[in-house]
Amino acid sequence: MELPSQYNAKEVEDKIYRLWEESGFFNPDKLPSRNKKPFSIIMPPANANGNLHAGHALVMTIEDIMTRYKRMRGFKALWLPGLDHAGFETQIVYEKKLEKEGRSRFKMTPEELYKEILEFTEANKTNIQTQVKKMGASCDWSRLKFTLDKDIVDIVYQTFEKLYKDNLVYKGKKIINWCPKHQTSLSDLETLDAERQDKFYYLKYGPFTIATARPETKFGDKYVVMHPKDKRYKDYKDGQKIELEWINGPITATIIKDDVIDMDFGTGVMTITPWHDAVDFGIAERNNLEKEQIIDFYGKLLPIAGEFAGMKIAEARPLIIEKLHSKGLVEKVEENYKHVVKTCYKCGTLIEPQIKEQWFLKMKPLAEPAIKAIKNNQIKIIPGHYKKIALHWLNNIIDWNISRQIVWGIPIPAKTCEKCQNIIIDTENKINTCPKCGEKDLIKEKDTFDTWFSSGQWPYATLDFPKGKDFKTFYPTDVMETGGDIIFFWVSRMIMFSLYNTKKIPFKNVYLHGLVLDAKGQKMSKSKGNVINPLDLTDKYGTDALRMALVVGNTSGTSLPLDENKIKGYRNFATKIWNAARFVLLQNDNSKLTKTDKKLLADFKKLAKEITKEMDGFKFYVASEKIYHYFWHTFCDKIIEDYKKKLVSYDLLATLLFESLKLLHPFMPFITEEIYQQLPIKNKKECIMIEEWITQ
């Protein structure tokens, strides 16, 4: 058959992917009998709210490499794909869409909103699957899971109920991060620190001077706090009352001594606003102080602010200062005070801490076994320095707010009795009477789970824990490959939930990749306009070329600048492979192995062993580079040239081509498969995908 001189990726890729899918070998149950020992990777579920981005392309490439390698090594390899409803993230994407259409989620019923987002997500599920396939992912689509599938939700509910029974879940009125724009609470991981320059006001508070950047919170301040050991204030006793003139008239303040106060900061005295500040909340809790809400959930001042009630903070602040000035309560104003504030990680809106009843998960008891498993390397983290990062976080873990005031998510399966406030966990939504007092008025929880509460259970939920066949075969999984940026959000929580629920680690290895950056090493972002769409690149250069560009020279945990020139280089390599194969296929020759040939074959086997070692050590960047180098500069430049000079046999040529193609296959699956399909070899299998990694 006549092969064209250039490899046409576009024509080949869809055809080859179909061949693989039809072969059934993505499904470990359908692999040949030699594939016995299980190997498993659970794919980080892709958000079903948009398109495949460069980060996905990297995930798909690395995980596909691992899976294809293990499959060829004779493992019963499972790569289980998944899709994520991605609660908050998707709702934001959808809200932006609504905004563009001039609509708002606050003008819709929760049911309407849920229905629309569901439709949107369903449409995106197909879209993202098609794109994952474009990357050549050899995952088992027959096992595809979606985070809102009934069986997944059932497991999430069972876990929630178990946690509640074990007294690890509680409903509590605590200070939380509130995003006034999105109207939901956020966990501590979902806020970002932002440095701000604001005015810093020194205000007269009776005999004291207090400093604040937020005068608008000060209306209700009736506790003045200082360090018990501060000599300047030794004459004031804990609990002592003082009368003073404040913003809206005379008040009675109480002296509180608490050692959280930094004596060296400002005047060493501060007043507290427990409803809107986490530190102040802590002081109030410790000392049993009253708490009062000053700002409502939309960021407007409440009636306690008197004449300022109903105003937004930004407009109220200068007016409040003006009034304080007129009353002679402003001592001085520092102009450029630098301080750090919390913002919503999605919209950048200033977080307004609020006290609100939320569901919390006690983390310390869950973290302990996880710490142990990481410490003793039961779970190995690659690269190694992430071990410390994970341990540090786990050692300092605080209770996790798992409830969100958004509709797009898994509803928290709980009800509260109107009469006796009894909390009922009702995973099947069947209970209509309070088992404690018989009351029929039960209030159904409106909040949904933080999306990580469900995705944190992904490794065992997808494998049909506890009784499924897959759970027994494939759990614990071998590798969790994901981005280093979600080690706290996701990886740590999977470890904790899994150890709690299954008593086993969820995965033996965690492989963390870095960020994919643009060619200049800049983070990709829509605002910078430097976002690279991986599908444009596969279209232009072929998927194999993109995959190579993503893996060669990319060490774990390090970010990777993606340069189009690099991809072009591997497109050239694909052409090289193509033409080398074309040359070999055109020969009409039966010459057998000679002594020199055997030496060359031994050299290759040595290299193959080295590459195998690198693959086992997760050093795909070395393995890919080695086979690249061998194929181009040894096989093509030397061996083919020697063959032309009749220095080596056809047998050697054909053998080395075949063996090299196999080593290349995990990295460049399409072109290697396409060539394999045309090779005139004995005992040919349906596809190279199930060939033996190294011929013994």
Partner RNA sequence: GGGCGCUUAGCUCAGUUGGUAGAGCAUCUCAUUUACACUGAGAGGGUCAUAGGUUCGAGUCCUAUAGCGCCCACCA
Q: What's the rounded Cα separation, in Å, for the pair 367 and 370?
A: 5
Span interacting with RNA, options 145-153, 186-194, 474-482, 663-671, rule CB under 7 A: 186-194
List the interface residues with RNA, window 347-386 (CB under 7 A): 385
Residue spans of alpha helices (H) in 479-556: 493-502, 534-541, 543-551
Q: CB 49 → RNA: shortest distance, Å?
A: 22
CB nearer to RNA: pick between 173 and 469: 173
When asked if residue 419 is in the footprint of RNA (CB under 7 A), the reply is no
Angle between helices 564-586 and 534-541 (to 10 degrees): 30
Q: What's the rounded Cα separation, in Å, for the pair 409 and 93?
A: 14
CB nearer to RNA: pick between 190 and 445: 190
The residue within the footprint of RNA, chosen from 636, 647, 654, 694 (CB under 7 A), is 636
The answer to whether 552 and 63 are in contact (CB under 8 A) is no
Q: Is 287 exposed, middle or buried (0-12, 13-18, 19+ CB in 10 A)?
A: middle
When asked if residue 197 is in the footprint of RNA (CB under 7 A), the reply is no
Three-state DSSP state, 630: helix
When asked if residue 219 is in the footprint of RNA (CB under 7 A), the reply is no
List the interface residues with RNA, window 226-265 (CB under 7 A): 260-265
When asked if residue 183 is in the footprint of RNA (CB under 7 A), the reply is no
When asked if residue 19 is in the footprint of RNA (CB under 7 A), the reply is no
Q: CB 8 → RNA: shortest distance, Å?
A: 9
List Cα–Cα distances, 636 to 279, 505, 536, 611, in angstroms.
Answer: 68, 46, 30, 19
Span interacting with RNA, options 21-29, 36-44, 320-328, 556-564, rule CB under 7 A: 556-564
Q: What is the dihedral of CA 464, 469, 470, 472, to 10 degrees?
A: 100
Q: CB 453 → RNA: shortest distance, Å?
A: 18
Count of residues that bind RNA according to CB under 7 A: 69
When asked if residue 513 is in the footprint of RNA (CB under 7 A), the reply is no
Task: Spell out the residues 6+ positions from residue 579 whose beta carbon is closer than 8 angstroms to its own.
Answer: 5
Q: CB 350 → RNA: shortest distance, Å?
A: 13
Q: What's the rounded Cα separation, in Å, for the pair 562 and 524?
A: 10
CB nearer to RNA: pick between 262 and 315: 262
Structure tokens at 672: 């290697």
The answer to whether 228 and 258 are in contact (CB under 8 A) is yes
Residue found by looking up tokens 């950056």 in the block: 517
List the interface residues with RNA, window 126-165 (CB under 7 A): none
The residue within the footprint of RNA, chosen from 299, 369, 411, 553 (CB under 7 A), is 553
When asked if residue 644 is in the footprint of RNA (CB under 7 A), the reply is yes
When asked if residue 583 is in the footprint of RNA (CB under 7 A), the reply is yes
List the interface residues with RNA, window 461-490 (CB under 7 A): 485, 488
Q: What share of the chain is helix, strand, coil (3-state, %, to 5)?
A: 45, 20, 35
Asked if residue 413 has a cis previous peptide bond (ω within 30° of 0), the answer is no
The residue within the footprint of RNA, chosen from 14, 166, 521, 522 (CB under 7 A), is 521
CB nearer to RNA: pick between 265 and 298: 265
Q: What's the rounded Cα separation, in Å, for the pair 543 and 595?
A: 39
The residue within the footprint of RNA, chosen from 80, 128, 370, 580 (CB under 7 A), is 580
CB nearer to RNA: pick between 139 and 549: 549
The answer to whether 272 and 226 are in contact (CB under 8 A) is no
When asked if residue 209 is in the footprint of RNA (CB under 7 A), the reply is no
Q: What's the rounded Cα separation, in Å, for the pair 667 and 646?
A: 32
Task: Spell out the residues 6+ positions from residue 574 whose beta carbon is closer than 8 angstroms to its own.
Answer: 7, 9, 542, 544, 545, 668, 671
The answer to whether 72 and 664 are in contact (CB under 8 A) is no
- One-letter amino acid of 353: P
The residue within the footprint of RNA, chosen from 197, 240, 572, 678 (CB under 7 A), is 572
When asked if residue 637 is in the footprint of RNA (CB under 7 A), the reply is yes
The residue within the footprint of RNA, chosen from 376, 565, 588, 590 (CB under 7 A), is 565
CB nearer to RNA: pick between 79 and 628: 628
Q: What's the rounded Cα separation, in Å, for the pair 690 and 26?
A: 10
Span interacting with RNA, options 45-53, 165-173, 418-426, 559-567, rule CB under 7 A: 559-567
204: left (phi over 0), alpha (psi -120 to 50) or beta: beta
Task: Spell out the residues 6+ positions from residue 650 whose beta carbon is closer than 8 angstroms to its own.
Answer: 587, 589, 590, 591, 643
Q: CB 389 → RNA: shortest distance, Å?
A: 6
Residues in a beta bridge with 517: 523, 561
The answer to whether 499 and 511 are in contact (CB under 8 A) is no
State the Cα angle at 453 between 448 and 456, rounded to 5°: 155
Q: What is the dihedral of CA 203, 209, 215, 217, to 10 degrees?
A: -140
Residue found by looking up tokens 């071990």 in the block: 387
When asked if residue 188 is in the footprint of RNA (CB under 7 A), the reply is yes
Q: Please state, as a whole number, how many other Cβ atoms lie within 10 Å of the Cβ of residue 676.
A: 22
Contact mark string toward RNA, 590..619, x via CB under 7 A = ---------------------------x--
The residue within the footprint of RNA, chosen from 18, 388, 436, 598 (CB under 7 A), is 388
CB nearer to RNA: pick between 101 and 264: 264
When asked if residue 73 is in the footprint of RNA (CB under 7 A), the reply is no
The residue within the footprint of RNA, chosen from 561, 593, 642, 650 (CB under 7 A), is 561
The residue within the footprint of RNA, chosen from 555, 591, 594, 612 (CB under 7 A), is 555
Structure tokens at 520: 């200049």
Q: CB 563 → RNA: shortest distance, Å?
A: 7
When asked if residue 641 is in the footprint of RNA (CB under 7 A), the reply is yes
The residue within the footprint of RNA, chosen from 50, 74, 282, 369 (CB under 7 A), is 282
CB nearer to RNA: pick between 189 and 324: 189
The residue within the footprint of RNA, chosen from 101, 111, 193, 243 (CB under 7 A), is 193
When asked if residue 313 is in the footprint of RNA (CB under 7 A), the reply is no
CB nearer to RNA: pick between 189 and 675: 189
Question: Which residues contact RNA (rule: CB under 7 A)?
Answer: 5-6, 188-189, 193, 210-214, 260-270, 277-279, 282, 339-340, 385, 388-389, 392-393, 396, 485, 488, 521, 553, 555, 558-561, 563, 565-566, 569, 571-572, 574-576, 579-580, 582-583, 586, 617, 621-622, 625, 629, 632-633, 636-638, 640-641, 644
